[in-house]
Amino acid sequence: MEEKMFKSVSFAGVMNLVLGITILVSALTCGVLLIVSGGKLLKSKKDIII
């Protein structure tokens, strides 16, 4: 009984770590892409006439 509970708790822990690492990597990637696109917009700001 205790072994079954230990396996399910350890599986949940592993899944939480995997999901956390995945979210962290995707957030960093999105942040870098936003900074790059913002830099391109600021660079081309002088060429835009409204």
Per-block average pLDDT, block size 10, for the chain (50 residues)? 81 94 98 96 84
Distance (Å) of CA 4 to CA 7, 9, 10, 27, 33: 5, 9, 10, 35, 44
33 in the Ramachandran plot: left (φ > 0), alpha (ψ -120 to 50) or beta?
alpha
**What was the pLDDT predicted at 50?**
72
Closest CA to 9 of 34, 17, 35: 17
- In this prediction the pTM is 0.69
In the chain, the amino acid numbered 18 is V
